[in-house]
Amino acid sequence: MMLIPAHHFRDIERKPEYLQPEKCIPPPHPRPAGTMWFIRDGCGIACAIVTWFLVLYAEFVVLFVMLIPSRDYVYSVINGLVFNLLAFLALASHCRAMLTDPGAVPKGNATKEFIESLQLKPGQVVYKCPKCCSIKPDRAHHCSVCKRCIRKMDHHCPWVNNCVGENNQKYFVLFTMYIALISLHALIMVGFHFLHCFEEDWTNLLQAYGLTREETAEARISLHEIKQPLKVSSTECSSFSPPTTVILLILLCFEGLLFLIFTSVMFGTQVHSICTDETGIERLQRKKQRRERRGSWKSVKETFGGDFSLNWFNPFSGPRHPKPLSDRDWVRQVSSVSDTENTETTTTTTEEPSEEPKNEDFVEVVDE
């Protein structure tokens, strides 16, 4: 019998029935194909609602505070179209990232019948998740929020109320990119709006007194000395009162700056993960697990769905669908076990007389 490192056994006397595959019963009502994926997590749902609220708030301020009151029709139309298009693509990407199956492994497939149907060869091993009772293919990890094993799981993001995995990583990348773009666009428009309106209001104020800037400096006129307040029209800058306008714009600046930094960092992290073909979890386990990586361009094409085209930026176009898992995808070679730490293992070989050769065929199930 082949020897397994001692750290794989917390209780070496456990019987082969430790994993109890006969207790792994598939769900009585499997989810039909095409059913919408949605995680019922209170924190995730709240974060998703907050995300939509913040985008709609930015939409309200940009349209009703800055663009619609503006007298520059061309400026308002161009910036309105660009901002609304980016906001629509951001929300569409958010929905696709939230409602797309990230690559969940069939739940409850670690049954005795399924394991026997794999017809494991000598030196092969299968990994079983004790939490969702699933056989885990390579690069799959269990998510405690989704309560499923996810293929190529990068992380669980509460802002999209879903895991970022094999099937929805493209949508998450697009979501972070479009949020960063609308945040940058909003900040630029706020800057122009402040400069334009302050200068225009100051000019109108001087013209109302019939003075130039130089004459104003000499006369040192103070508005507090005027018995009746001067009525200067500022409808071209905002439909709201000046204090309300300033508060709305400052809040938009704070929101835009915060999300620009956050989403830019997330976008860069995701692009780096795709180019290196290494998820966030795999990066943390780099010293423990060694595997062969694909080329960066091949990984990018698989994530975004083929060769470079406008569909890469389209949240309604899916990534290249992976091939259905075959029997060999569920099985790993025993060498991978020796590279993995802190796992509980049980061999399914039956006891043989001690005089049998040590290289005897065996099958191993790993509780990961």
Please tell me the distance from the alpha carbon of residue 4 to that of residue 358, in angstroms, as a whole number: 12
Write out pLDDT tens, residues 57-74: 999 999 999 999 888 899
Residue 126 lies in a domain: no
Residue 85 lies in a domain: yes
Please tell me the distance from the alpha carbon of residue 363 to that of residue 368, in angstroms, as a whole number: 16
96 or 204, higher pLDDT: 96
Residue 221 lies in a domain: no
Query: 3-state DSSP call for residue 253?
Result: helix
Tell whether the torsion through CA atoms of 261, 263, 264 and 269 is positive or negative.
Answer: positive
Which ranges of 144-225 does DSSP label H, i.e. alpha helix?
169-209, 213-219
The one catalytic residue in 157, 163, 197, 237 is: 157
Residue 13 lies in a domain: no
Pairing of strands 140-143, 344-347: unpaired
Residue 334 lies in a domain: no
Residue 195 lies in a domain: yes
Map tokens 């400069």 to a residue: 195
Residue 25 lies in a domain: no
Q: Provide the 8-state DSSP code for 310.
A: G
Quick one: pLDDT at residue 6?
Answer: 36
Mean pLDDT of 141-158: 92
Q: Is 157 a catalytic residue?
A: yes
Cβ within 8 Å of residue 14, ≥6 positions away: 346
Write out pLDDT tens, residues 251-285: 999 999 999 999 999 999 999 999 998 888 888 87
Closest C-alpha to 7, from 341, 351, 368: 341
Count Cα neighbours of 3 within 13 Å in the Cβ-side half-sphere.
Answer: 3
Please tell me the distance from the alpha carbon of residue 149 to that of residue 135, in angstroms, as a whole number: 9
- Indicate if the pLDDT at residue 31 is higher than 70: no
Amino acid residing at 113: E
Residue 356 lies in a domain: no
Write out pLDDT tens, residues 78-105: 999 999 999 999 999 999 999 999 989 8
- Host domain of residue 168: 42-103+160-203+238-287+294-320
- Indicate if the pLDDT at residue 233 is higher than 80: no
pTM given for the model: 0.75
Work out the mean pLDDT of the chain and round it to a whole number. Answer: 76
Provide the number of structural domains found in the chain.
1
Mean pLDDT of 199-221: 53
